[in-house]
């Protein structure tokens, strides 16, 4: 990757609240991530949220974040808490991780 491409890389860490488990939210995120060329993971949390850690182009991550606020049709999102960090480059694809 060129230096300009690396400079545009970022990491989004988000927690999605609401009716987001048991409604296909993780698969919704997987489809989005692949379509946007992102790497990282998504998982349910024991307290009923969905956690997303994604890396890629900042513009693609911003599109993912906008979609996290909407969710799939069967979900009801009440809040998304997101933080931005530098990309680590540690991921090669996007996966579902076990509940944590």
Q: What is the pLDDT of residues 65-80, one digit of tens each?
A: 999 999 999 999 999 9
- Tokens 């545009």 correspond to what residue? 8
**Is the CATH number 3.30.70.100 carried by domain 3-86?**
yes
The residues annotated as belonging to the active site are 26, 44
Residues 6+ apart with CB under 8 A from 41: 52, 53, 54, 91, 94, 95, 96, 97
The predicted model scores a pTM of: 0.92
Strand 94-96 and strand 39-44: the pairing is parallel
Report pLDDT for 32: 97
Residues 14-58 pLDDT 10s: 999 999 999 999 999 999 999 999 999 999 999 999 999 999 999
Residues 6+ apart with CB under 8 A from 31: none
């Amino acid at each position: 990757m060129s230096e300009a491409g690396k400079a545009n890389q970022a990491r989004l860490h988000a927690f999605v609240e609401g009716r987001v488990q048991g409604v296909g939210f993780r698969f919704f995120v997987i489809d989005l991530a692949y379509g946007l060329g992102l790497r990282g993971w998504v998982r349910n949390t024991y307290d009923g949220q969905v956690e997303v850690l994604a890396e890629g182009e900042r513009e693609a991550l911003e599109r993912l974040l906008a979609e996290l606020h909407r969710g799939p049709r069967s979900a009801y999102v009440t809040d998304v808490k997101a933080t931005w960090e530098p990309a680590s480059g540690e991921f090669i694809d996007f996966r579902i991780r076990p509940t944590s």
